[in-house]
Amino acid sequence: MFDIDYSRLIEQLLYQPDSPMIFSSGIFLFLFLAFTFIYNLLGKADTLRILFVTFFSYYFYYKSSGMYFLLLALVTTCDYFIAQAIATVKEKGILARILLFLSLFLDLGLLIFFKYTNFLGETICTLLETNGIDVPSSITGSLSEEVSWQPRDIFLPVGISFFTFQSLSYTIDVYRGNIRPLNRLLDYAFYVSFFPQLVAGPIVRARDFIMQIRRPLMVTDQMFGAGVFYIIAGLFKKAVISDYISINFVERVFQQPDLYSGFENLMAVYGYTLQIYCDFSGYSDMAIGIALLLGFHFPKNFDSPYKSTSITEFWRRWHISLSSWLKDYLYISLGGNRHGKFRQYFNLLMTMLLGGLWHGASLNFILWGGIHGLLLCLDKIWHSIAPMLSPLTYLSNKSAPHPSKNRTVAFLGGILTFHLVAACWVLFRAPSFEIAEQVFHQIFHKFQPQIFLQWCVSYKAVGILMLLGFLLHWLPSSLSEKAKAFVTRSPLLVKAILLILLIYLVIQIKSSDVQPFIYFQF
């Protein structure tokens, strides 16, 4: 009756290196529908439901990284028992610190090996050769007279930075006495592997999540409606705006920026600024929405970051789960602002340098993080020496004297902040310093504004989507809340129609295979 190609079906269910499963793919939609049916049948059987979700989460990760789901299991098991051991030590003495160091060594060691081996090897060999020190061929793998690092073929498991940071925060919180350790390995495996946020965040803290694990399953109409809204919003951001402007414009310019005018390079910078926001916040929105449909709450991960009037405010709005993680577990551990201004600025700079390195094994990312760290320091210095000319003053005290002047400062600060962030994204996107230099060279030396109308005609759809994306981003938050309330209150049929229309739109504008989320590489 049904002509089913079972070999093709099995192939789709197995790991495909060139096609990891993501939220915007058809295979995920198919599996998620089957998953939710079984999930709701197991609603009152807590342990079976948790076990089922954990197995599905591991399968989800298998579809992203193959057999490296065993790495996820290793981190989960080790940190669970390490946290248990830490909790048994009544005094935070040497034994507790040794156990915490063991967790750090395991999580960061795996992260360094899989993500930074080639980068560190190349950097060390370059430094040694620069200083005239011979590098053994047993290390470099090269027998040539001019010794250089031979890159190792090391697979980077998807989202390894996210689940190692999430697991590491658990052992640190147990060590600090902020939370009690879980008494079931299954519950901890559920927490670490929960598939909505597993491969690209948000980084969910144990103290915000573990109390939800054994709570009776309850998805209110409000949660269901909000979940559908977030899924629709995230899918639109990712599959309509981000993917289209990336494939049809941004990628072309960043591949060979010297073939395009400075104006086109500037539009590509603006395009990537919008693309990375829509891509990552789109994933976060879908993760938050899917979690709500399953009865779980995730914290907000983006809060209209391009509305920021200062770099400090930008990092309060951008990738909030990572920013707060770096603040709580790195910046404060370094001393925070407790040892004077100079030490505070040093701690800020080091935190952002390491934050840049977290994003990728490249000098581009380190420089990107370093510039943001320097801008954060300058922001605080400017606020301390000229508070009435600092946007931070208006943000913290809207009733301050001369509010119109402060609003003007905030407006000008918003324009400056946006362009500083956009300029830094060039380092983030460009595959090398040379490409980044070409982009800036074209913008400042070969701008050619007279091609504006020609660009509008040639890239009409790209321009419309960029304009729409920025307009939606800069709309008052109250309008977004009204849109969410409309979807939440709408009948189920209306929600289904909105989702079907969006999927139809995605299919119509799709010009290539499903594009992986940018943060999958982190």
> For 242-290, what is each residue's pLDDT tens digit?
989 999 999 999 999 999 999 999 999 999 999 999 999 998 999 999 9
State pTM to two decimals: 0.88
Q: Which of 164, 192, 217 is the last residue of a domain?
A: 217
Quick one: 94 and 158 in the same domain? yes
- Which residue range forms the structural domain that includes residue 404? 223-521
Taking only the tens place, the pLDDT of each residue in 135-185 is: 555 555 554 445 566 777 788 888 888 899 999 999 999 999 899 999 999
Quick one: 123 and 241 in the same domain? no
Quick one: 184 and 227 in the same domain? no
Q: What is the pLDDT of residue 304?
A: 92
> Which two tokens mark 136?
């053994």
Marked catalytic residue, from 319, 359, 372, 473: 359
Quick one: 148 and 233 in the same domain? no
Taking only the tens place, the pLDDT of each residue in 181-224 is: 999 999 999 999 999 888 777 888 888 898 999 888 888 888 88
First to last CA, the chain: 46
Quick one: 254 and 381 in the same domain? yes
Taking only the tens place, the pLDDT of each residue in 339-380 is: 788 888 999 999 999 999 888 878 899 999 999 999 999 998
Q: What is the DSSP string of 182-197?
A: PS-HHHHHHHHH-GGG
Q: Which of 217, 232, 254 is the last residue of a domain?
A: 217
Taking only the tens place, the pLDDT of each residue in 22-52 is: 776 777 878 888 898 899 888 788 899 999 9
Count of domains forming the chain: 2
Report how far residue 63's alpha carbon sits from residue 69's, in angstroms, rounded to the nearest whole number: 9
Of 244, 222, 223, 224, the C-alpha closest to 235 is 244
Is residue 8, in this structure, part of any structural domain at all? Answer: no
Report how far residue 263's alpha carbon sits from residue 383's, in angstroms, rounded to the nearest whole number: 34
Is residue 250, in this structure, part of any structural domain at all? Answer: yes
Q: Which residues of 72-94 are buried (b: 16+ CB within 10 A; e: fewer)?
A: beebbebbbebbbbbbeeeeeee
Quick one: 145 and 262 in the same domain? no
Taking only the tens place, the pLDDT of each residue in 301-349 is: 999 999 998 999 999 999 999 999 999 999 888 888 887 888 889 999 9
Report how far residue 481's alpha carbon sits from residue 243's, in angstroms, rounded to the nearest whole number: 25
Is residue 3, in this structure, part of any structural domain at all? Answer: no
Taking only the tens place, the pLDDT of each residue in 432-441 is: 899 999 999 9
Quick one: 499 and 475 in the same domain? yes
Active site residue 359: yes
Quick one: 285 and 358 in the same domain? yes
Half-sphere exposure (Cβ direction) of 348: Cα atoms closer than 13 Å? 23
Q: Which of 199, 217, 235 is the last residue of a domain?
A: 217
Q: What is the pLDDT of residue 510?
A: 63
